[in-house]
Structures are given as structure tokens and as C-alpha cells.
Amino acid sequence: MRFFIFLLVFGLYPLLAHAGSVEIVPRAIPAGGTALLRWNGETPALAVAKYNGRLLYLSPQASGAVALLGADIDAAAGSYPVSVTVSRASGEIETFQSFIEIRVASYPEERLTLPPSMVSPKAADILKRIGRERAVLKDLFSTSTPALLLDSVALPVRDPVSSPFGLRRILNGKPKSPHAGIDFRSPLGTPVHASASGEVVFSGELYYTGKTIILDHGQGLFSIYAHLDSLACSGGELLSQGDVLGKVGSSGRSTGPHLHWGVKLRGDRVDPMALMSLLAEEKP
Ligand SMILES: [Zn+2]
């Protein structure tokens, strides 16, 4: 028996030491959640993951390489395969299989009744503008710096939350798209801080979100700051975590001063607070 254990430990040792492993933390997330994918082993020449029909490059770190995995707020529950292909400096290539579990999320619901005239219809030129802006944003969210630029997320303001992530609004009996961000009840003019370091990829005015700033944090991760009163940075600027990017306002489709803070990961709408706690616990 002792000899068998000896064989098991020392016989496999060279293999294990070389192999490395793929880790996903946490293994199960709700729709709207995020997880950290980590390759533990020698820093690879290149590590590419395949998840949910997309290819993602892991960013090299001292311990191996990392990438963020996300589940859209409307993602279907189930077990999603994740494969990681590692190319070593020696030229050796190996693929590791793993999976992530996406659970149904239970987000709060809010029923509102408004006079139909306030809900729709919209003038043709407004619909045209909305369509144009949607295309610009889709384009913007589909391109990103390959390296992950952030290692932590901080709150953009220190005010109470007035509307949580995922809130399902049912307007006149018709479900609207879920709330893809967090609203803070911040007074007009409150400085808004960059929640992480990144590049300003949008600074302008949009129909729904009014004066808006979008930061690119790499690996398809973006943060969005909406309904601002004024914009304090312009496209192409590099911001550090905590830098003031604008002031709280009520621009766009808004009924009063507040900050809407959202995060997109490869086009998926994810919970900024959940990402903040994940990175606080699991330093990438
Ligand atoms: Zn909002």
C-alpha cells in the first residue's frame, strides 16, 4: 500500500508538475453573473478559451493566465462547456475541458402603469436615431483591447442604490427589457469616478442614456456611466481607477438626477456589483 502511494505521488509528479490546470471560480453563477477563468501553470506563450461560441484570449499573469467569463442577464440556465488551449514556450499545445453552470436568477419585479401616450409611439426621426445609436454601440462593444486592464472594480459614486441590477419592469402589463445596470440616487453635479482603469471609447450624447461615457477595460469588458450632466473626458483618453469622468445629471430618458452604472462583457449585460465582489475575492 505504502509503495503504491509512493508510486502514485512520485510516479505522477513529473506529469502533474508539467500539466497545469484550469480553474473556474465560482463554478456556478446566476444569469448576469461573472466568473474568473484561470490557467494555473507555467505562463503560457498563448492561452485561448472557447466559451459560448466565442474565442477569448487569456491575459498572462505571474501565476498563469486569466480571463473573465460572463452570463447575460437573459442567459438560459444550463451547463456551458469551456475549453482552454494552451501553447507552451516549448511549442507543445494542449487543450483542457471544463464547464460553467449558469443558474436562473431571481431578480425583483416592478409593475408600472403609465398613460399610453407616455410610452409610445415615437416619431420616425427618433426611431431612426435610436437605430443608428444601437448600431454604433454594437460595433463598439464587439471590439476591445485583448489584455485585461483591470484587477479591481470600485464604486463610481458613494450614494444609495435606487434601482438594482436585473429589475424587471412590467409597463402597462408588458415586460420591458430588464435593468442592465445599477441606479444610484446621486444629487445633481456629484462627481462620477472611473470604476477601473481603462480607455474612454465613447464620450457623447445618446437618446436613451443621455450624456454617456463608456470605458474599455480590455478582454471585451466595458463600463458605462449614463444620464450625466457634463462629460469630463473625451475619446481616446486613458483613465485610472478613481479619475473623475463626469458629473451626475438627468440627461436622456430620465425622470430625475441619478447615475446609471452598467457593465458589458463581450456584449453580455452583467452585474457590476457581482463583478466587484468577484475581483475583491479572487485577484486576477
Ligand atoms: Zn438605470
Q: What separation in Å is there between the alpha carbon of 149 and the centre of ligand 1?
A: 25
136 C-alpha to ligand 1 centroid (Å): 20
Domain 109-281: what homologous superfamily? Glucose Permease (Domain IIA) (2.70.70.10)
Whole-angstrom distance, CA of residue 217 vs CA of residue 194: 11
Is pLDDT above 50 for 14? no
Q: How far is the CA of 13 from the centre of ligand 1 (A)?
A: 52
Q: How far is the CA of 183 from the centre of ligand 1 (A)?
A: 5
- 45 pLDDT band, cuts 50/70/90, is confident
Q: How far is the CA of 150 from the centre of ligand 1 (A)?
A: 23
Q: Which of 36-45, 99-108, 115-124, 156-165 has the lowest mean pLDDT?
A: 115-124
CA distances from 243 to 156, 189, 250 (A): 9, 15, 21
How far is ligand 1, taken at its centre, from the CA of residue 156, in Å? Answer: 14
Q: Is the pLDDT of residue 51 over 80?
A: yes
Up-side HSE of residue 284: CA atoms within 13 Å toward CB? Answer: 25
Q: How confident is the model at residue 171 (pLDDT cuts 50, 70, 90)?
A: confident
pLDDT at 166: 94
How deeply is 224 buried, as exposed, middle or buried, from its count of CB atoms within 10 A (0-12, 13-18, 19+)?
A: buried
Question: How remote is the CA of residue 224 from the centroid of ligand 1, in Å?
Answer: 10
Ligand 1 centroid–CA 148 distance in Å is: 26
Q: Which fold has domain 2-103?
A: Immunoglobulin-like (2.60.40)
Q: How many residues does the chain have?
A: 284
| Confidence at 116, pLDDT banded by 50, 70, 90 | confident
Strand spans (E) along 177-258: 182-184, 191-193, 198-206, 210-216, 221-231, 238-239, 244-248
State the Cα–Cα distance between residues 167 and 142, nearest whole angstrom: 25
Residue 66 has pLDDT above 80, yes or no: yes
- Predicted local distance difference test score (pLDDT) of residue 13: 43
Closest CA to 247 of 276, 213, 281, 219: 213
Residues 6+ apart with CB under 8 A from 188: 229, 247, 248, 249, 250, 257
- ω into 121 cis (within 30 of 0): yes
Quick check: 228 pLDDT over 80? yes
Measure 57 CA to ligand 1 centroid, in angstroms.
Answer: 31
pLDDT of residue 96: 93
In which band, very low, low, confident or very high, does the pLDDT at 12 lie, cut at 50, 70 and 90?
A: very low
Calculate mean pLDDT across residues 226-234. 98
Distance in angstroms (rounded) separating the CA atoms of residues 40 and 58: 12
Per residue in 231-254, pLDDT tens?
999 999 999 999 999 999 999 988
pTM over 0.85: yes
| Chain mean pLDDT for the chain | 89
211 CA → ligand 1 middle, Å: 13
Question: Ligand 1 centre and the CA of 269: distance in Å?
Answer: 12
Tell me if 2-103 shares its fold with 109-281: no
d(CA 38, CA 27): 12
**Hey, where are the domains in the chain?**
2-103, 109-281
Kindly give the distance from the C-alpha atom of residue 96 to the centroid of ligand 1, in angstroms, as a whole number. 39
| pLDDT over 70 percentage in the chain | 92
User: In the structure, what pLDDT confidence band is assigned to residue 113 with cuts at 50, 70 and 90?
Assistant: confident
Distance 192 CA to ligand 1 centre (A): 15
